[in-house]
Structure 1
């Protein structure tokens, strides 16, 4: 079996490990933020509650409610910054794995040296900022931050108006944070898949520019969750510079067809094959392992 045939499984395994690590970090980050928000809320209950209830009227006095909301906003801003770091880190590693594993597979299968080099940080940043259906990742994360800020403020304000106890309000905040954490985890899974597909495509396109003419094939995951608009793409094989045509958009790879109905939560993937070799020149690359290849070729 050629390395190109095996590399998709390696990439999936690597990306899966990266995503799980990010999900654990996200869950921990949200748990810490929830504890900080609860501690802030407990301070006000301890000072101003009456018979276990903290009323809206009491919190509205002396600008207490506005100060409390400002403190919440600071905590959620920190949460947002930490989440962005977690997500960007895993996406950078996902891109590297997709790009390098594909590069190794092409060079070792074709016994050709194709001028691959270590990926520059600006390349990774540019890739992460690549808009998905018109919105950059940074914009989408900021939108999520605004939504959680608004929802937490609503939960607190409504709890005060209803005269809820600390326990009741704390429970509803926990549910709100858990829902937002799940949303952040979905972002990681979707973006890591998009990024790895983009990396594979960039790597194969580099090979084509350097004399190893590649073709790409669309693959569906093949379960009941596959969207109907991608059924007709399964098994389609085209040249590297061509686009796949969906029902609502077109583009070079899954997650890059330019329409929300095509791209968001897409799990389809590409596999690659060598159409022809224009200049094989490196017999010594035969049977070289991936880690050895990285040390040798990415100096």
Structure 2
């Protein structure tokens, strides 16, 4: 494996670890919300149950069920807000880290001063909101909030009609919360991957325009989980190389690389990544760039800060 490929692989490892940490944080947020919801549910059973059973007829008296649902929705709305801000912060971070670290790799290994600039807030926000679903991130999170509210309403109402014990109902609520947490983490994983790969590609395209001509290679994780479907076969794409400005093609679908094919069958939960190599250099080189660490590259001002 070449030095450049190792460095790009290291970027993916660093940012993948950051994503895994955020997924765990989001799971813990859902656990806390469930604990708060269980306490709310337990209070209803303690006050209104008969022989351990809480019925629908009992809960509709004096708007008890409506009041419970209002408090439940408040908990879910706060959860959605906290999860949303956590996801946004993480996506901004991985997008920037991927772009800056890719720029460092290319500039120090090509030894060409490429004039990389910091990413503007406008560009950053647009890159986060652009995805294959046609919905903004806020819209996707709001859609998920409405789905879990509807699901939990149905779960609680059904449990009351069936005269379920608090243990049975809480297990059903916990299951619903787990499904919702899984969906939130699917957004985190898929969108992090897309932003990491697209930021690398953007950095390479800038270098290409400035005289550092590069090729890119599709790399799969090379395990049994690599998707192998008729419409999205990443085993076939593994190891395929094209020039950095070209598209990867499979059937009627084409895109810049993993996470950037523009269709769910290719992009959701994809774990593939791009690595790059320099094909040729058509610009003046500067030896002082050769051995700079990422921290030195930043400190010496090779990344230009826009005001």
* Superposition TM-score tier, normalisation by shorter sequence: over 0.9
Scaled by the length of structure 2, what TM-score is found? Answer: 0.90
**In structure 2, how many angstroms separate the alpha carbons of the residues matched to 1:254 and 1:221?**
12
Deviations 1:117-171 (A, max 9, x none): 2222322211111112434433332332222111111111111111112222122
Aligned equivalent of 2:256: 252
Deviations 1:55-94 (A, max 9, x none): 1011112222122212211111111111111112222221
**In structure 1, how many angstroms separate the alpha carbons of the residues matched to 2:235 and 2:25?**
35
Moved more, 222-231 or 111-120: 222-231
TM alignment of 1:39-188, pairs within 5 A? 39-188=39-188
The alpha-carbon deviation at position 254 of structure 1 amounts to: 1.2
**In structure 2, how many angstroms separate the alpha carbons of the residues matched to 1:136 and 1:248?**
25
Aligned equivalent of 1:243: 247
Q: CA RMSD, aligned part only?
A: 1.9
The alpha-carbon deviation at position 248 of structure 1 amounts to: 4.4
The alpha-carbon deviation at position 235 of structure 1 amounts to: 2.4
Scaled by the length of structure 1, what TM-score is found? Answer: 0.93
Is the aligned partner of 1:280 residue 2:284? Answer: yes
Aligned equivalent of 1:27: 27
Distance 1:41 1:161, change over 3 A: same
How many residue pairs get aligned? The number is 299
**In structure 1, how many angstroms separate the alpha carbons of the residues matched to 2:171 and 2:219?**
43
Aligned equivalent of 1:192: 192
On the 8 A contact 1:2/1:109 being kept in 2, the answer is: no
**In structure 1, how many angstroms separate the alpha carbons of the residues matched to 2:43 and 2:252?**
52
**In structure 2, how many angstroms separate the alpha carbons of the residues matched to 1:116 and 1:132?**
28
**In structure 1, how many angstroms separate the alpha carbons of the residues matched to 2:87 and 2:205?**
26
The alpha-carbon deviation at position 251 of structure 1 amounts to: 1.1
Structure 2 alignment gaps of length 5 or more: none
The alpha-carbon deviation at position 237 of structure 1 amounts to: 1.8
Aligned equivalent of 1:222: 222
